[in-house]
Chains A and B, each alone.
Chain A
Amino acid sequence: MPTPPPRYPHFLLPVALCAHGVAQAQSIDYGALERLFQEPVTTSATGSPQRVADVPENMEIITAEDIRRSGAYDLPGILRHVSGVDFQQWTDDQAEVSVRGYDQPYSQRVLVLINGRQVYTDDYSFTPWSSLPVELGAIRQIELVKGPSSALFGFNAVGGVINIVTYNPLYDDIDAASVSAGSQQLVQGSAIATLPLGQLGGVRISGGARSNQDFPNAAAGAEVTDRVNQRRNADLDGALRLGDSTSLRVEASTTNVQQNQVNPVYQYDFERFDTDSVTAQLNSDGSYGLLQLTGYSNRMNQSSDAGILGLPVNFTDRLSVIQAEDVFKLGANHTFRAALEYRHESTNTSPITGAAIFYDVTSASGMWNWRLSPTLTLTNALRLDDLGLGRDGSSPPGYPFSNSDWNRTRYVPSYNSGLVWRLDDADTLRLMAARGTLLPNLVELGSLLYQVPGSLALSGTPTLAPTVVENYELDWDRQLPQLRVLLRTAIFYQFTDNMIALTGGFAAGPAGVYFTPAPIGDSSALGTTISLDGHLLEHWRWGANLRLERISESFGAAAAAAAGQVDPRNQTPTRVAKLNVGWSQGRWESDVFLAYQSHTAGLNYNGVTGTPVNVPGYAAVDARLACQMNAHLTLALSGQNLLHARQMQTSGEPVQRRVFATFSAGF
């Protein structure tokens, strides 16, 4: 996606103008830093504030303007247009997103956060996008890091990280509302209101609701697809200025979602997600550095009718995190980040209840950014996680494990290392190496528990080791100012050790054999990306990108037993190309997005077992046309998958063309 000079939608103009004022030097004021340096600013690469051109990562910043002009009504719809992002639309409201391949239902390899708070859930290790408590109009920018970033974010940041940064009510006064309606009986409303409290701070409240009918689905049957997808959420975000250099931000959110889903074994299901979270963060900027103390608590209940292999499941996932970090500069050329973190995570067993699987993780991490010369910077980050796994509660008769089998400790190191060389004003080279860790999820570790004596028995297993992803990468960026174009290229090699499938293993006990998750083998990916983003004449902007990637697998016997559920070589397209063209003039904005991907394969669950399905390569077009009716009101027409009424994009049911209108107001 292009990263143009900051431009503001008309309804944000008052914010932009007032924020052009002098920024009191407090915690990170993205807007003030962005206006100063004339480019997006991020903390998602190293934990330290950096200009996006300087980060030792392959990174994309999706700005508020990009979000608005995407025409999308949800987060995956925005991300599908971004270079390097894989996108699979399984149902109307379930889309899976990954970075550089390895996409699948319940995509695991991208850690997703909102303002640094994890919204990725650890029960199945995935992100239920509809359950994220954020309105698109409240987002300042979406920061996408490609490749492992576990040294900063910890477990599960292996394929990439998506950090959604919302406007800060301490600095940003956002008031907006929108309603959308369209095909598939889509109705969506969104409202955001900010109450500035002068020098004291500010409070923002936002909320939204959505309802729509899913695609027709022969495999799932009417009992699933005739039900209405629904989403409701509310978020309260307050920031309090405690002094010239200290502020406190407190956020509370809740979401309620019910929608059709395809689960990790490719089975259609109707699922409910109820989430609540509370976050408090203290920021201070002084002679001691940028000090940040954060605590948050997430609860997510995920329940389904059919669950895994037809069994209803009901998991409540609880996560509590405490973090302390300090970013400081020593001398002129050395920036450090030191951090400590503790987290407690637990999920109950289901469908057989009475027990819970949990782990405690104590982590220490550090980052050293060394400016070797004014044009050469070396960044090294290291993190050590000390994980203690456990289980408490009862077990069914004849269970092959006892609670003590879960009493395991693992010390897991991860690192990120990057050399950034600014050759001149136009060229930047990046050489990077990283090691990240994907933790077996709590379902795989034992939360899934089912037994019919003498018949089927399912369980997680405590013996699973983490999946380790290593990434080696060389990037070259070149500015072409005469053409107003940014060229970005990358070549990467990624090795994944010890991949895990949800089935494929066995554990024998007195009551018989339990089917369990299993390590299935290793995988490696070699790929390259090239992207161009530019502006043309006065009113045009455009982008084009291509990713070529080839994945190989070295799988053992357990992979065959897992029946192709995990098969990145065939599930990842070898060629993905995206093109976008946008025009804006006066009251009008128009954008078109084209995406092409080569053929893939997957499974189609027919009620008993998964059947391999080949998915032909396809092209899809999204578009948006908007008219600003006056200083406050905008009417937009959007369309997704416009080329065909129904189109096969995954091994599941074909997706439908969607068109909708959005009427938005900003003040």
Chain B
Amino acid sequence: MRSRLWALLASGALMTLPAAAEVSGTTLLVAARALSFLQHPLQGEVVVGIVYQPENSQSRLEALQLNGLLEDGFRAGTLVLRPQLIKLDDLAGSHVGLYFLTSGIGNAAAVLAQLNGSRKIPCVTTDIAQVKDGNCAMGVRAVPRVEILVNRAAAAASGMTFSEAFRVMITEL
């Protein structure tokens, strides 16, 4: 109950993202930079699994935006992110180094958390509700102020351990 209250407050603090969040290059850069504070950061070329629901227009739109941003390789220092669109129903067969969970999928995204319990693949989203629900470990927002929200239980489940310098500067659940 207490954790749910916190999650509710945190989502309020992060100024709940618009229903159809537009993912910008800045958001992606914040996500990539935040991942650099993993104790074992991603390096080199990493395939980003863009998880979406084709029948959900918000999710599909964000997936297309992300795919457009990543299709030529998105560079953040030595990290190069390349996209792979993954339908939520096809998650089991995917092989990627990072999940980007699109917005608006709702409770259906729980399948990602269940799957990731064994795969230990980092997950990032702009859908703060998914972080609150533990379906994705890290939520990011770039404007008007950079905010990073990490669900500690989800992070632990997906093998994401951050440096202490990073932890003390972000919001955790």
Contact = CB atoms under 8 A, between A and B. Distances in A.
The answer to whether A and B belong to the same complex is yes
Interface of A: 20-29, 32-33, 35-39, 41, 48-51, 53, 244-245, 285-286, 289-290, 327-329, 332-333, 335, 369, 371, 373-375, 422, 424-425, 479, 481
Contacts of A425: 15, 144-145
- Top 9 closest pairs, chain A to chain B, by CB: A21-B77, A374-B13, A25-B163, A22-B36, A332-B172, A36-B33, A22-B77, A374-B10, A335-B168
Contacts of A32: 33, 36-37
B38 interface: yes
Q: How large is the interface on B (under 10, 10 to 19, 20 to 34, 35 or more residues)?
A: 35 or more
Nearest to A291: B164
B164 A290 contact: yes
B39 A245 contact: yes
Judged by DSSP, the binding face of B is mixed
Contact of B173 (A29, A53, A332, A424): A332
Interface string B134-160: 000000000011100000100000000
B54 interface: no
B13 A51 contact: no
Contacts, number: 108
A375 B152 CA distance: 19
B30 A36 contact: yes
A425 B16 CA distance: 12
A285 B144 contact: no
13 contacts: A21-B77, A21-B78, A22-B42, A32-B37, A33-B165, A38-B146, A48-B168, A245-B163, A285-B165, A327-B164, A327-B168, A332-B172, A369-B168
B13 A481 contact: no
Given A290-B164, A374-B10, A374-B12, A49 B43 contact: no
A369 to B, nearest CB: 8
B164 to A, nearest CB: 5
A289 B171 contact: no
Given A32-B33, A285-B163, A332-B6, 7 more contacts: A20-B76, A22-B42, A25-B163, A25-B165, A27-B165, A36-B30, A374-B12
A327 to B, nearest CB: 7
A212 B90 CA distance: 74
A374 B169 contact: no
A53 B147 CA distance: 12
Contact of A329 (B33, B78, B167): B167
Nearest to A290: B164
B168 to A, nearest CB: 5
Contacts of A375: 9, 13
B79 interface: yes
Contact of A22 (B30, B41, B144, B172): B41
Given A36-B30, A49-B169, A329 B164 contact: yes
Given A332-B172, A373-B9, A425-B145, A24 B165 contact: no
Contacts of A327: 164, 168
A397 to B, nearest CB: 59
A304 B145 CA distance: 53
Nearest to B162: A25
Nearest to B169: A49
B14 to A, nearest CB: 8
Contacts of A37: 146, 169
Nearest to A54: B169
A24 B76 contact: no
B37 A25 contact: yes
Given A21-B77, A49-B168, A35 B33 contact: yes
A29 B10 CA distance: 27
Nearest to B7: A374
B168 A24 contact: no
A434 to B, nearest CB: 21
Given A327-B168, A329-B167, A25 B77 contact: no
Contact of B34 (A29, A36, A285, A481): A36
B168 A244 contact: no
Nearest to B11: A374
Contact of B166 (A25, A35, A335, A371): A25
Given A373-B9, A374-B9, A289 B164 contact: yes
Contact of A286 (B14, B152, B164, B172): B164
A517 to B, nearest CB: 43
A374 B171 contact: yes
A25 B39 contact: yes
A29 to B, nearest CB: 8
A424 B12 CA distance: 10
A37 B163 CA distance: 15
A448 B144 CA distance: 57
Nearest to B39: A25
Contacts of B30: 36
Contacts of A422: 13
B142 to A, nearest CB: 8
Contact of A50 (B41, B164, B169): B169
Contacts of B42: 22
A503 B111 CA distance: 77
A373 B8 CA distance: 10
B139 to A, nearest CB: 13
A28 B168 CA distance: 12
A36 B146 contact: yes
Contacts of B169: 33, 37, 41, 49-51
Q: Report which residue of B35, B77, B171 has the largest number of chain A beta carbons within 10 angstroms of its beta carbon.
A: B77
Most chain-B CB neighbours within 10 Å: which of A28, A41, A374?
Answer: A374
B146 A20 contact: no
Contacts of A245: 39, 163
